[in-house]
Amino acid sequence: MWEYIICAVICAVIWIINGRCIVRSAREHITGEVYSHTGLGIFFTLLTVELILGEAGMWTQANISWLQIIGYILYIPSAVLVFGSMIQLKHTGKAKTLAPHGTTTVVQTGIYGIVRHPMWLGMVIWSAALILVFQSFFSIVLSTVAVVCFQMGATKEDEFNIKEFGDVYREYIKKVPMGNIFKGLRRVKK
């Protein structure tokens, strides 16, 4: 019984924090942030519920070891993409906050020279990793919804950045792929 209470409290905190961001973003008409925070809320809810209730045996998990290992390995590139892009936005993008819409210039170097949305690509990889680690129907459904939210957030972020930075961002879109890291690495090698 205590597992349910702990899980409910943590999930409530997750949605209070993300809910505030969603409401603020909706008021400011920043649709990409609404999608992004919805995806983050779903992602962290999934993580919490699986760690507390799934691991307590509340539902069936496949537990195929080699898939779990691949999932754990995927945590590394996803963390590098998410946290690396946050740090680069803060320093190179002259952002006052870690939010992408706080950037005052188009960042086109480093990881942003490979993919336009490394933060959201990292969250997509992390979501896929959670499916492999937890191997439950619940993780498949919630991760899929989170991935759709992250993809919509990235698309809306492109629209926002075109309005914000104009032709500079349009040229950036032509050069750097949205999330295809392999295509971006090939482009950088040339």
All structural domains of the chain with their residue ranges = 2-189
Whether residue 79 has pLDDT greater than 90: yes
**Per-residue model confidence as pLDDT tens digits over 138-174:** 999 999 999 999 999 999 999 989 998 999 999 999 9
pLDDT band at 88 (very low <50, low <70, confident <90, very high): confident
Please say if the pLDDT value at position 81 is more than 80.
yes
pLDDT digits (tens, 9 = 90+) for 91-134: 776 665 555 556 778 888 889 999 999 999 999 999 999 999 99
CA 126 to chain centre: 8
Answer with the residue of higher pLDDT: 1 or 132: 132
What are the C-alpha distances in Å from 6 to residues 13, 59, 137?
A: 11, 17, 22
Contact partners, residue 40, CB within 8 Å, separation at least 6:
18, 123, 146
Which CATH number is 2-189 given?
Answer: 1.20.120
Percentage with pLDDT > 90 across the chain: 64
Which candidate, 114, 150, 143, places its Cα nearest to that of 36? 150
